[in-house]
Structure 1
């Protein structure tokens, strides 16, 4: 049952506990395994990838079978409903339109003092996208990772995803990839897929950036290869925090809480409300909606361990507790959400009003659904076009401009004991005697 808390101090302790539910201490026993996988793939390439795929995913593949064929890509369109295809196409259009508005622009500023400064944005050469698979289907994850890379202008985008039965990839995932402009797809998953993307193999090219969520082995592998490649984040289990008052419908709020809890036994579902009656109504509704739920056992575990309702004194107190938790998803199911919004400092994505469930953002609103978890919203942001780009500074000084600041540069260089730094300026600004 969803627990109700009435004490502020107890609520803070619970929020801290939930935020720390995926502490790296939990993963210590898996680190040795992941380190072995990454090292083996780095040294042995395809041979190691195929061996670990057989060991962990029970798929006996050859190097020639790793890449999804053109025929399999074409066939995927015949294997999904027309309504699903239209939904994928609509989501693709919405997500692309949003991310095109966020593309960083290069700029150059010509100053009056003969100084030119600027910033130049360029895409990485190759991006690797990890999409969870097996028995599950996540076409939305494909779109949310692939489209920003495409908008950024990445010339080559490689996708990896584990197979299900009979070495097949869910056709909805293959269709989503093609709608997003990806046709280079490999049927591997786990830590071995991350290592293959980071170091390259005989079949799979090395990339510059790896994005996409996965299990603890995938997350640890991304952590280990960071530095060799860039990564989006170390994503943890999903979470939602809802601030609601009595203007909200308890059934709507309960459904939104369960929408997160059904992801994973570690998913967090939190409600903050100033109304005791509303808290009890949501508690009752959650229990009701759990009956006969398609993923009842999993969802009940998440609610039992990481689901709470906190009765607060005011919406302002709710905002403070939300900032403490820094949720991945924050719903403001209150009468005047825009009035409370300025008090929200930390959240991955914010959903305003009674008609904006978090599922809207998961699928086709446009903003990315790959968001910081476990309190990382305090300093991190959603995956976006910027994830696949880097910027270079542009600097040009004329002789006059360098002469104007030459003494200052030399003083700073000498203070740091870097004689050649100072000399590189001095020989330019001081006139050489004629010989």
Structure 2
């Protein structure tokens, strides 16, 4: 393995300073509710508007949105919802006998109140709202609270508002940052308290989600965008370069990485990246991202390349390798996988239907991305009768006596007595 280009730095999502700031924000909002939220909105966003976005404001804002943009968002909502529905249909309820008189199972129950955080970002990303909200709607959430920064003419961008309404958001608030997460987690006079919070955000949002976890559920903690392009000698340098830059432009700390089994192809891709970047606007985050975070690695063999991919556990793994599907079973650490050179990550970012809220910072070692399953609970139940009581109560009584748990033994032994059964311990 050889680095042709190595990252100069690596963004740390969490720091003591960020942790302390977020802790203070959460504590203040817990104690002072709306007043604290408004304080932070004015300080961080220069926003002095009402927290709740009224139906009148939503309608007026959406009326200014061009019809072609609405058509695009409608398609996004439709496709994300369709994929979420297909996923939900895979999570089946269970009812089964596990021996005579032992009936057990589980139910699929939607989370009642969902909090959706939608970043403001540098651009109004049309898919961000639907990605977080549509799966919650499909899951069956009764109330979906959406928060997004008021960074467009004193409010939320019309395209974001339209996407939130079309996806099923029931309440929308012009609140950003850690204060939005705290408000949804603990509730204020205006913002309802939720059960689970989903959605990406900056390091303050990520840290806030980390700190409120336990009080509420969260989907995952997602940092700046990541992509790893895995390529062999058959790959096209222009496509590889374009795919790297598509994610690099999200954030100065986005990570665009290439792993190639061909030195020639890797070197040509670097040249193409440099050529493309000359055409990018001077303020594009892609410049800093590629300069400071970009990496290019040459693997000696295909096997080594696969090992590198699995070790990076990257958010987006795009395989530009001949017969890429044949490698699928050997790749297991990624947020989302893109097979063949034309399966652009951009399709998933925008409209294909899979979710673009995905694990970063090697979290793909233990989790996937946001999906409809984040908004449902799989809860078990059991009904024990007849012979099942004899079997389980006898076992439980004996085990409880060994463990010295008097209450457990009592509860099991009462069932034995009622069914005229003597446990093996003679009690």
TM bracket, shorter-chain basis: over 0.9
Task: Render the CA deviation track for 1:50-88: whole Å, top value 9, x for unaligned.
Answer: 111111111123xxx211121222233332232221111
**Corresponding position of 1:356:** 343
For the pair 1:312 / 2:302, whether they are aligned, the reply is: no
Contact 1:316 1:340 in 2 (8 A): no
Contact 2:390 2:419 in 1 (8 A): no
For the pair 1:22 / 2:12, whether they are aligned, the reply is: yes
Name which of 157, 162, 165 aligns with 1:178: 165
Structure 2: where are the runs of 5+ without partners? 421-427
Contact 2:139 2:376 in 1 (8 A): yes
Name which of 54, 58, 80 aligns with 1:69: 54
Counterpart Cα distance in 2 of 1:409 and 1:60? 61
Indicate the SS of the match to 1:144.
helix
- 302-311 or 141-150, which moves further after superposition? 302-311
Distance 1:208 1:295, change over 3 A: farther
TM-score normalised per structure 2: 0.93
Counterpart Cα distance in 1 of 2:201 and 2:142? 24
For the pair 1:212 / 2:199, whether they are aligned, the reply is: yes
Contact 1:88 1:176 in 2 (8 A): yes
Superposed displacement of residue 408, structure 1: 1.7
Task: Render the CA deviation track for 1:328-365: whole Å, top value 9, x for unaligned.
Answer: 00001111101111110111100011211100111111
Contact 1:162 1:190 in 2 (8 A): yes
Superposed displacement of residue 111, structure 1: 4.1
Superposed displacement of residue 23, structure 1: 5.3
Structure 1 residue ranges (4+ consecutive) displaced by more than 6 angstroms after TM superposition:
none
Indicate the SS of the match to 2:165.
helix
**Corresponding position of 1:87:** 72
**Corresponding position of 2:96:** 109
Superposed displacement of residue 101, structure 1: 1.0
Q: Quote the RMSD (CA, aligned, Å).
A: 1.9
Structure 1: where are the runs of 5+ without partners? 1-5
Counterpart Cα distance in 2 of 1:23 and 1:115? 48
Contact 1:316 1:343 in 2 (8 A): no
- 394-403 or 375-384, which moves further after superposition? 394-403
Counterpart Cα distance in 2 of 1:21 and 1:216? 10
Task: Render the CA deviation track for 1:359-379: whole Å, top value 9, x for unaligned.
Answer: 011111111111111100000
Name which of 92, 107, 123 aligns with 1:136: 123
For the pair 1:229 / 2:219, whether they are aligned, the reply is: no
**Corresponding position of 1:3:** none
